Protein backbone atom coordinates (compact mmCIF):
# COMPACT_ATOMS: atom_id res chain seq x y z
CA UNK A 1 0.00 0.00 0.00
CA UNK A 2 2.76 2.46 0.77
CA UNK A 3 6.28 2.51 -0.53
CA UNK A 4 9.31 4.22 0.92
CA UNK A 5 11.09 3.69 4.21
CA UNK A 6 9.57 4.44 7.58
CA UNK A 7 11.80 6.97 9.29
CA UNK A 8 11.47 7.98 12.91
CA UNK A 9 12.17 11.54 13.81
CA UNK A 10 13.64 10.44 17.08
CA UNK A 11 17.11 9.02 16.61
CA UNK A 12 16.58 7.98 13.05
CA UNK A 13 17.87 8.94 9.66
CA UNK A 14 15.82 11.66 8.10
CA UNK A 15 16.47 13.84 5.11
CA UNK A 16 17.06 17.46 6.08
CA UNK A 17 14.30 18.64 3.81
CA UNK A 18 11.81 16.45 5.67
CA UNK A 19 12.79 17.74 9.06
CA UNK A 20 12.71 21.32 7.95
CA UNK A 21 9.28 21.06 6.35
CA UNK A 22 7.90 19.42 9.46
CA UNK A 23 9.37 22.19 11.57
CA UNK A 24 8.01 24.80 9.22
CA UNK A 25 4.53 23.34 9.41
CA UNK A 26 4.44 23.07 13.14
CA UNK A 27 5.72 26.62 13.35
CA UNK A 28 2.94 27.84 11.13
CA UNK A 29 0.51 25.92 13.32
CA UNK A 30 2.07 27.46 16.41
CA UNK A 31 1.77 30.99 15.09
CA UNK A 32 -1.76 30.35 13.93
CA UNK A 33 -2.83 29.01 17.28
CA UNK A 34 -0.60 31.16 19.46
CA UNK A 35 0.84 28.31 21.43
CA UNK A 36 3.94 28.74 23.55
CA UNK A 37 7.45 27.75 22.53
CA UNK A 38 7.32 24.94 25.09
CA UNK A 39 4.21 23.58 23.42
CA UNK A 40 5.92 23.96 20.07
CA UNK A 41 8.93 21.97 21.26
CA UNK A 42 6.67 19.27 22.63
CA UNK A 43 4.85 19.04 19.31
CA UNK A 44 8.15 18.70 17.48
CA UNK A 45 9.38 15.97 19.75
CA UNK A 46 6.47 13.64 19.20
CA UNK A 47 7.34 10.28 17.66
CA UNK A 48 6.48 10.89 14.04
CA UNK A 49 6.95 8.33 11.32
CA UNK A 50 7.58 9.67 7.86
CA UNK A 51 6.05 7.74 5.00
CA UNK A 52 5.59 8.20 1.33
CA UNK A 53 2.39 7.13 -0.39
CA UNK A 54 1.64 6.66 -4.06
CA UNK A 55 -1.21 8.60 -5.63
CA UNK A 56 -4.47 6.80 -4.93
CA UNK A 57 -3.35 5.05 -1.71
CA UNK A 58 -5.86 4.76 1.07
CA UNK A 59 -4.79 6.47 4.29
CA UNK A 60 -7.97 5.45 6.08
CA UNK A 61 -10.93 3.28 5.20
CA UNK A 62 -14.53 3.68 6.22
CA UNK A 63 -15.15 1.27 9.08
CA UNK A 64 -11.55 0.92 10.16
CA UNK A 65 -10.58 1.47 13.76
CA UNK A 66 -8.19 4.40 13.33
CA UNK A 67 -5.11 4.48 15.55
CA UNK A 68 -3.03 7.17 13.91
CA UNK A 69 -3.23 10.56 12.30
CA UNK A 70 -1.24 12.11 9.50
CA UNK A 71 0.25 15.51 8.87
CA UNK A 72 0.66 16.08 5.15
CA UNK A 73 4.18 17.32 4.40
CA UNK A 74 3.72 17.39 0.65
CA UNK A 75 1.03 16.28 -1.75
CA UNK A 76 -2.75 16.31 -1.60
CA UNK A 77 -5.32 13.96 -0.16
CA UNK A 78 -9.08 13.83 -0.13
CA UNK A 79 -11.85 12.52 2.09
CA UNK A 80 -14.82 10.75 0.60
CA UNK A 81 -17.85 8.64 1.36
CA UNK A 82 -19.70 6.34 -0.94
CA UNK A 83 -23.43 5.73 -0.97
CA UNK A 84 -25.14 2.38 -1.08
CA UNK A 85 -25.55 2.81 -4.83
CA UNK A 86 -21.79 3.19 -5.17
CA UNK A 87 -21.95 6.92 -5.78
CA UNK A 88 -18.98 8.76 -4.38
CA UNK A 89 -18.98 12.14 -2.66
CA UNK A 90 -15.72 13.86 -1.94
CA UNK A 91 -16.25 15.79 1.27
CA UNK A 92 -12.92 17.56 1.65
CA UNK A 93 -9.56 18.15 0.05
CA UNK A 94 -6.58 18.11 2.37
CA UNK A 95 -3.70 20.42 1.49
CA UNK A 96 -0.10 20.05 2.63
CA UNK A 97 0.59 21.56 6.03
CA UNK A 98 -3.00 21.57 7.14
CA UNK A 99 -1.92 20.26 10.46
CA UNK A 100 -3.12 16.95 11.74
CA UNK A 101 -5.88 14.76 10.59
CA UNK A 102 -7.78 14.96 13.84
CA UNK A 103 -11.18 14.04 12.56
CA UNK A 104 -11.24 10.52 13.90
CA UNK A 105 -9.14 11.08 16.99
CA UNK A 106 -11.74 9.84 19.48
CA UNK A 107 -13.81 7.56 17.33
CA UNK A 108 -14.12 3.78 17.45
CA UNK A 109 -14.74 3.28 13.73
CA UNK A 110 -13.96 5.63 10.87
CA UNK A 111 -16.98 7.02 9.06
CA UNK A 112 -15.31 7.90 5.76
CA UNK A 113 -12.29 7.22 3.57
CA UNK A 114 -9.12 9.22 3.11
CA UNK A 115 -7.16 8.69 -0.06
CA UNK A 116 -4.14 10.43 -1.58
CA UNK A 117 -4.71 12.51 -4.68
CA UNK A 118 -1.04 12.73 -5.58
CA UNK A 119 2.12 11.22 -4.22
CA UNK A 120 2.27 12.27 -0.57
CA UNK A 121 4.86 12.59 2.15
CA UNK A 122 3.07 12.17 5.44
CA UNK A 123 4.24 12.42 9.02
CA UNK A 124 2.31 9.79 10.91
CA UNK A 125 1.63 10.06 14.60
CA UNK A 126 -0.32 7.81 16.90
CA UNK A 127 -3.64 8.86 18.38
CA UNK A 128 -2.20 7.96 21.75
CA UNK A 129 0.56 10.53 21.46
CA UNK A 130 -1.84 13.23 20.30
CA UNK A 131 -4.34 12.53 23.04
CA UNK A 132 -1.55 12.66 25.56
CA UNK A 133 -0.22 16.03 24.43
CA UNK A 134 -3.76 17.40 24.20
CA UNK A 135 -4.44 16.30 27.77
CA UNK A 136 -1.20 17.73 29.11
CA UNK A 137 -1.13 20.99 27.21
CA UNK A 138 -4.39 22.94 27.14
CA UNK A 139 -3.07 25.34 24.49
CA UNK A 140 -2.46 22.44 22.14
CA UNK A 141 -5.93 21.05 22.81
CA UNK A 142 -7.28 24.52 22.15
CA UNK A 143 -5.40 24.67 18.84
CA UNK A 144 -6.67 21.24 17.84
CA UNK A 145 -10.17 22.37 18.62
CA UNK A 146 -9.75 25.46 16.47
CA UNK A 147 -8.65 23.38 13.50
CA UNK A 148 -11.78 21.28 13.87
CA UNK A 149 -13.88 24.44 13.88
CA UNK A 150 -12.23 25.49 10.65
CA UNK A 151 -12.87 22.09 9.06
CA UNK A 152 -16.49 22.20 10.08
CA UNK A 153 -16.90 25.67 8.66
CA UNK A 154 -15.44 24.59 5.34
CA UNK A 155 -17.72 21.58 5.23
CA UNK A 156 -20.74 23.80 5.82
CA UNK A 157 -19.77 26.05 2.93
CA UNK A 158 -19.37 23.01 0.68
CA UNK A 159 -22.87 21.98 1.62
CA UNK A 160 -24.23 25.36 0.62
CA UNK A 161 -22.25 25.10 -2.58
CA UNK A 162 -23.56 21.67 -3.50
CA UNK A 163 -27.10 22.21 -2.28
CA UNK A 164 -27.84 25.65 -3.56
CA UNK A 165 -25.55 26.83 -6.35
CA UNK A 166 -25.68 25.90 -10.01
CA UNK A 167 -22.87 24.00 -11.69
CA UNK A 168 -21.02 27.05 -13.00
CA UNK A 169 -21.02 28.94 -9.71
CA UNK A 170 -20.23 25.74 -7.86
CA UNK A 171 -17.13 25.00 -9.90
CA UNK A 172 -15.96 28.61 -9.78
CA UNK A 173 -16.39 28.57 -6.00
CA UNK A 174 -14.36 25.41 -5.73
CA UNK A 175 -11.54 26.94 -7.77
CA UNK A 176 -11.58 30.07 -5.62
CA UNK A 177 -11.47 28.10 -2.39
CA UNK A 178 -8.58 26.05 -3.65
CA UNK A 179 -6.64 29.17 -4.57
CA UNK A 180 -7.40 30.89 -1.27
CA UNK A 181 -6.34 27.89 0.76
CA UNK A 182 -3.12 27.34 -1.17
CA UNK A 183 -2.43 31.00 -0.65
CA UNK A 184 -2.82 30.62 3.08
CA UNK A 185 -0.48 27.65 3.08
CA UNK A 186 2.20 29.93 1.71
CA UNK A 187 2.21 28.65 -1.83
CA UNK A 188 2.93 31.31 -4.46
CA UNK A 189 -0.18 33.39 -4.25
CA UNK A 190 -3.41 33.30 -6.09
CA UNK A 191 -3.13 33.56 -9.81
CA UNK A 192 -1.93 30.11 -10.90
CA UNK A 193 -1.82 26.68 -9.36
CA UNK A 194 -1.78 23.02 -10.10
CA UNK A 195 -5.04 21.19 -9.60
CA UNK A 196 -4.21 17.49 -9.68
CA UNK A 197 -7.76 16.21 -10.00
CA UNK A 198 -9.49 14.48 -12.86
CA UNK A 199 -12.81 15.82 -14.03
CA UNK A 200 -14.43 12.78 -12.51
CA UNK A 201 -12.96 13.67 -9.11
CA UNK A 202 -14.08 17.26 -9.52
CA UNK A 203 -17.54 15.92 -10.25
CA UNK A 204 -17.48 13.79 -7.13
CA UNK A 205 -16.45 16.81 -5.10
CA UNK A 206 -19.21 18.99 -6.48
CA UNK A 207 -22.05 16.51 -6.77
CA UNK A 208 -21.96 16.59 -10.58
CA UNK A 209 -21.00 14.20 -13.36
CA UNK A 210 -17.62 14.30 -15.06
CA UNK A 211 -19.30 15.15 -18.33
CA UNK A 212 -21.00 18.17 -16.88
CA UNK A 213 -17.79 19.30 -15.21
CA UNK A 214 -16.20 19.21 -18.62
CA UNK A 215 -18.87 21.39 -20.20
CA UNK A 216 -18.97 23.77 -17.27
CA UNK A 217 -15.21 24.16 -17.12
CA UNK A 218 -15.04 24.84 -20.82
CA UNK A 219 -17.70 27.46 -20.30
CA UNK A 220 -15.61 29.21 -17.68
CA UNK A 221 -12.56 29.04 -19.94
CA UNK A 222 -14.47 30.36 -22.93
CA UNK A 223 -15.68 33.33 -20.91
CA UNK A 224 -12.13 34.10 -19.84
CA UNK A 225 -12.78 33.48 -16.15
CA UNK A 226 -10.09 30.83 -15.83
CA UNK A 227 -7.32 29.48 -17.99
CA UNK A 228 -6.65 25.80 -17.85
CA UNK A 229 -4.10 23.49 -19.42
CA UNK A 230 -3.46 19.92 -18.37
CA UNK A 231 -3.89 20.09 -14.61
CA UNK A 232 -2.91 23.75 -14.29
CA UNK A 233 -5.37 26.49 -13.44
CA UNK A 234 -4.70 30.18 -13.71
CA UNK A 235 -7.06 32.93 -12.78
CA UNK A 236 -6.57 36.01 -14.93
CA UNK A 237 -8.90 38.25 -12.92
CA UNK A 238 -9.42 37.23 -9.33
CA UNK A 239 -12.17 39.74 -8.62
CA UNK A 240 -14.11 38.60 -11.64
CA UNK A 241 -14.01 34.93 -10.70
CA UNK A 242 -14.86 35.72 -7.09
CA UNK A 243 -17.98 37.52 -8.19
CA UNK A 244 -18.98 34.72 -10.52
CA UNK A 245 -18.33 32.21 -7.74
CA UNK A 246 -20.25 33.98 -4.99
CA UNK A 247 -17.04 33.46 -3.01
CA UNK A 248 -16.30 35.12 0.30
CA UNK A 249 -13.29 33.78 2.13
CA UNK A 250 -14.62 34.65 5.56
CA UNK A 251 -15.69 31.06 6.24
CA UNK A 252 -12.05 29.97 5.97
CA UNK A 253 -11.31 31.97 9.11
CA UNK A 254 -7.89 32.84 7.77
CA UNK A 255 -5.95 34.36 10.62
CA UNK A 256 -9.20 35.21 12.32
CA UNK A 257 -9.35 33.03 15.37
CA UNK A 258 -10.21 34.50 18.67
CA UNK A 259 -7.56 33.27 21.07
CA UNK A 260 -8.30 35.51 24.01
Residues forming the site for DNA (CB under 7 A): 166-168, 198-200, 203, 207-212, 214-218, 230-231
Exactly one of 152, 192, 210, 211 binds its own copies (CB under 8 A); that residue is 152
DSSP one-letter code for 100: B
How many Å separate Cα 10 from the centre of its chain? 26
Minimum distance from residue 19 beta carbon to its own copies (Å): 29
**Element at 58 (helix H, strand E):** strand 58-60
The option from its own copies, DNA, none interacting with 200 (CB < 5 to 8 A, set by class) reads DNA
Q: Is 61 in the site for its own copies (CB under 8 A)?
A: no
* DSSP letter, residue 183: H
Q: For the beta carbon of residue 125, count every other beta carbon within 10 angstroms.
A: 21
Distance CA 1, CA 51 (A): 11
What single-letter DSSP state applies at residue 195? -
40 versus 170: smaller Cβ distance to its own copies? 170
* Calpha distance 256→113 (Å, rounded): 29
39 or 177: CB nearest DNA: 177
User: Can you tell me the distance from the alpha carbon of 19 to that of 228, in angstroms, rounded to the nearest whole number?
Assistant: 34
Which of 38, 56, 63, 189 forms a contact with its own copies (CB under 8 A)?
Answer: 63
Task: Give the nearer residue to DNA in terms of CB position, either 50 or 233.
Answer: 233
What CA–CA distance (Å, rounded) separates 147 from 178? 17
Classify residue 250 by its DSSP letter: G
Strand partners, 37: none
Q: Which of 155, 146, 202, 139 is nearest to 175 (CA)?
A: 202
Binding test (CB under 8 A) with its own copies, winner from 194, 207, 228, 238: 207
Q: Which residues inside 131-150 make contact with its own copies, applying CB under 8 A?
A: 131, 134-136, 138, 141-142, 144-146, 148-149
CA dist 191 and 193 (Å) reads 7
- Name the helix (H) or strand (E) containing 6: strand 2-8
> 71-90 mask for its own copies (x: CB under 8 A)?
--------x-xxxxx-xxx-
Give the shortest CB-108-to-its own copies separation in angstroms.
Answer: 4
**Least spacing, CB of residue 119 vs its own copies, in Å:** 25
117: which DSSP letter? S
From 53, 100, 158, 174, residue interacting with its own copies (rule: CB under 8 A): 158
Site residues for its own copies, window 111-130 (CB under 8 A)? Answer: 111-112
Q: Does 155 bind its own copies (CB under 8 A)?
A: yes
Q: How far apart are CA 145 and CA 80, in angstroms?
A: 22
Q: Which of 57, 68, 94, 103 lies at the binding interface for its own copies (CB under 8 A)?
A: 103
Residues making contact with its own copies (CB under 8 A): 63, 65, 79, 81-85, 87-89, 91-92, 102-109, 111-112, 131, 134-136, 138, 141-142, 144-146, 148-149, 151-153, 155-160, 162-165, 206-207, 246, 250-251, 253, 256-259
Amino acid sequence: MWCGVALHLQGCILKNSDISSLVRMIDRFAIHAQISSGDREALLELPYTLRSFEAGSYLMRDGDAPHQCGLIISGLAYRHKVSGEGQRQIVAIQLPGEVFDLQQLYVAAADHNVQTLTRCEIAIISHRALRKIAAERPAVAHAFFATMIAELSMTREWMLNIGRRDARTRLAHFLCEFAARLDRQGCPPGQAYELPMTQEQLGDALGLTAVHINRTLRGLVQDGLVEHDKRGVTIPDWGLLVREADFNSRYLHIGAFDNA
